[in-house]
A = this chain, B = another copy of it.
Amino acid sequence: MSEFGAWVSGNHTNFRVWAPYLQTLKLKLAGRDPIPMERDDRGYFFVKVGGVEDRLYTYLTEDGSEFPDPASRYQPQGVNGPSQVVNTNFDVPGLKTKVDDLIIYELHVGTFSPRGDFQGVVERLDYLTDLGVNAIEIMPVAQFPGKRGWGYDGVYLYAVQESYGGPCGLRDLVVEAHSRGLAVILDVVYNHVGPEGNYLSKFGPYLSNRYVTPWGPTFNYDDRGSDEVRKFILENVRYWLTTFNLDGLRLDAIHGIFDFSPKHILKEIADLSHSLGKFVIAESDLNDPKVITEYGVDAQWVDDFHHAVHAYVTGERNSYYSDFGRLEDIEKAFKDVFVYDGRYSKHREKTHGAPVRGLSPRRFVVYIQNHDQVGNRGKGERLSVLVQRTKYFACAALYILSPFIPMLFMGEEYGETAPFLFFTDYSDPGLAKAVREGRLRDNGQESDPQSEQTFQNSKLTWKVDEEVLSFYKKLISLRKYVDERPKRVLKGDNWILVEMDRIFVVASFGRSTVEVDREGKLLLGINFPEELKRRETIALQEGVGIYSDREIGR
């Protein structure tokens, strides 16, 4: 049951669409005469029809125009084609997942496997459980234009991308993942909708004319008609979390979700998710703890952690990296989460962020790579091709064994060297041109985003570097010894130490003279001695060591 779209109930299918701009509307099922729908005073149209499972349909307006269902669950012919009735009365076993324990693996369905669909992910689930992660986070699957794309320009929030395998493909993936104890987090975009195939404004005030985002029109959460728009989004949350029994949602760019209502839509999303026993993670560029404390989101991404590590180890200082680059920034991220927590940012030309105060580090997700940080580079280079292995291992150890929630980006764990570029498959030539030019101008990406080759080049090669994979597996296996909060963070000339109760991590990013006042035996490392003695001063090369003074992990 849902308030929106077409849902099968017994031998019937219910069609319901919110279209207050229209006075009459007809359901046009393939091979049938148009069926008038009943309108209520809020602008919902409804009709119940027998025996039309799997049938194609559109909505026919007074002036003879036909549009797909704004809440379509399946767009077998893409964003401009008809919708299709799908029986989504799935039975997907659930999983009990604790946010604090997450080790997330971010993947893009289209480039994760050679076949580029949900089945391709299923085939590698054993690999992922063997790796040791306990959750996959899949980049958006809401129907987007064409066959290839990152998914952030989706326009059918309830439809699962047909080129990935549609709703049944997603269901199968979740069933298989859950059977292996792997949680599934879905990336959902509630801050804007894509431009192509977007007919929402034919139906009603779905989109805001008060706020603008750099990515396109945003939803109308607080103006005329917003009760229904909010329902449309909240039902979407419910749809993903119950129909597919997903474990949580990753909310894209919540700094683009503008809502002046007494209860912010993010709070409603979080409350609803919690009531269903699920969680929400937010991508936020606000560096603001209110995302957790006021909106009730379970965890938020920390770009500052990434930038601090990346700028320091690569030496890059362009764009937002200009705000980072000192070892102190990494130290501050460990201590205070946000490097910019009320400080002036030169890059942003404004004071940025606020202190997180007493919040648990488990409310924050960290990474040294993700789809944006790799893919928004003009050449899509992964960290594996930017720094030496010793640095790569040091970075990996620092974040995977950090008190925060770690998130890997697909391929990172075996040292993938193929790029991850920006790719699209728009059919509108004007849009294609604008994206091509924009990516070149703003990101320096010379590969044409529209080219099939750019997409193919971004696929994981699965040329596994066994040394890297083995190191990652061991790191992940040590994750269970990470406490909720670090006891201490120390740094010296080129080194940093993150000390927890049972283990401590020392990373050296060049020749350094490390003084440690804790002893320990090496659990895992590179270029580091087998043992550290209390108050010992040692000269080290670049590398990393994870130590313990107890009999663990050996």
A210–B286 CA distance with the chains assembled, in angstroms: 15
A520–B267 CA distance with the chains assembled, in angstroms: 51
Shortest C-beta distance, A7 to chain B (Å), equals: 25
| Closest chain B residue, CB of each to CB of A41 | B346
List A24-42 residues whose CB lies under 8 Å from chain B.
none
Given contacts A263-B354, A353-B262, contact A224 B286 (CB under 8 A): no
Known: A209-B212, A210-B212, A262-B286. 17 other contacts (CB 8 A): A210-B211, A211-B258, A222-B350, A223-B350, A224-B348, A224-B350, A226-B350, A227-B344, A227-B349, A227-B350, A255-B260, A258-B258, A258-B260, A260-B286, A262-B287, A262-B342, A263-B354
List A224-245 residues whose CB lies under 8 Å from chain B.
224-227
Query: Which residues does A use to contact B, with CB under 8 Å?
Result: 20, 209-212, 222-227, 255, 258, 260, 262-263, 286-288, 290, 342, 344, 348-351, 353-354
Shortest C-beta distance, A226 to chain B (Å), equals: 5
| Closest chain B residue, CB of each to CB of A288 | B262
Chain B positions within 8 Å of A287 at CB level: 262
A290–B290 CA distance with the chains assembled, in angstroms: 15
Chain B positions within 8 Å of A262 at CB level: 286-288, 290, 342, 353-354
Chain B positions within 8 Å of A349 at CB level: 20, 224-225, 227
A224–B210 CA distance with the chains assembled, in angstroms: 19
Main secondary structure, interface of A, reads loop
**Sample of 7 A–B contacts (CB below 8 Å):** A209-B212, A210-B211, A211-B212, A223-B350, A225-B349, A225-B350, A262-B354
Shortest C-beta distance, A319 to chain B (Å), equals: 14
Chain B positions within 8 Å of A210 at CB level: 211-212
Chain B positions within 8 Å of A211 at CB level: 210-212, 258
Shortest C-beta distance, A351 to chain B (Å), equals: 5
Given contacts A210-B212, A262-B342, contact A351 B288 (CB under 8 A): no
A255–B226 CA distance with the chains assembled, in angstroms: 16
Chain B positions within 8 Å of A260 at CB level: 255, 258, 286
Chain B positions within 8 Å of A255 at CB level: 260
A130–B78 CA distance with the chains assembled, in angstroms: 75
A287–B263 CA distance with the chains assembled, in angstroms: 12
A209–B211 CA distance with the chains assembled, in angstroms: 9
Closest 4 CB pairs of A and B: A262-B354, A224-B349, A262-B288, A226-B350
Most buried by B among A20, A209, A226: A226
A262–B292 CA distance with the chains assembled, in angstroms: 12
| Closest chain B residue, CB of each to CB of A221 | B350
Shortest C-beta distance, A392 to chain B (Å), equals: 34
A223–B287 CA distance with the chains assembled, in angstroms: 14
A414–B62 CA distance with the chains assembled, in angstroms: 56
A210–B353 CA distance with the chains assembled, in angstroms: 19
A357–B342 CA distance with the chains assembled, in angstroms: 33
Chain B positions within 8 Å of A288 at CB level: 262
Chain B positions within 8 Å of A286 at CB level: 260, 262
Chain B positions within 8 Å of A227 at CB level: 344, 349-351
Chain B positions within 8 Å of A263 at CB level: 354
Shortest C-beta distance, A257 to chain B (Å), equals: 10
A286–B350 CA distance with the chains assembled, in angstroms: 28
A255–B350 CA distance with the chains assembled, in angstroms: 23
Most buried by B among A223, A255, A350, A354: A350
Shortest C-beta distance, A212 to chain B (Å), equals: 6
A49–B351 CA distance with the chains assembled, in angstroms: 32
Chain B positions within 8 Å of A290 at CB level: 262
A224–B352 CA distance with the chains assembled, in angstroms: 10
| Closest chain B residue, CB of each to CB of A220 | B350
| Closest chain B residue, CB of each to CB of A205 | B349
Shortest C-beta distance, A336 to chain B (Å), equals: 14
A512–B262 CA distance with the chains assembled, in angstroms: 39
Chain B positions within 8 Å of A354 at CB level: 262-263
A372–B226 CA distance with the chains assembled, in angstroms: 26
Shortest C-beta distance, A271 to chain B (Å), equals: 15
A211–B223 CA distance with the chains assembled, in angstroms: 14
A222–B351 CA distance with the chains assembled, in angstroms: 9
A226–B209 CA distance with the chains assembled, in angstroms: 23
A70–B210 CA distance with the chains assembled, in angstroms: 26
Chain B positions within 8 Å of A212 at CB level: 209-212
Chain B positions within 8 Å of A223 at CB level: 350
A223–B213 CA distance with the chains assembled, in angstroms: 12
Chain B positions within 8 Å of A209 at CB level: 212
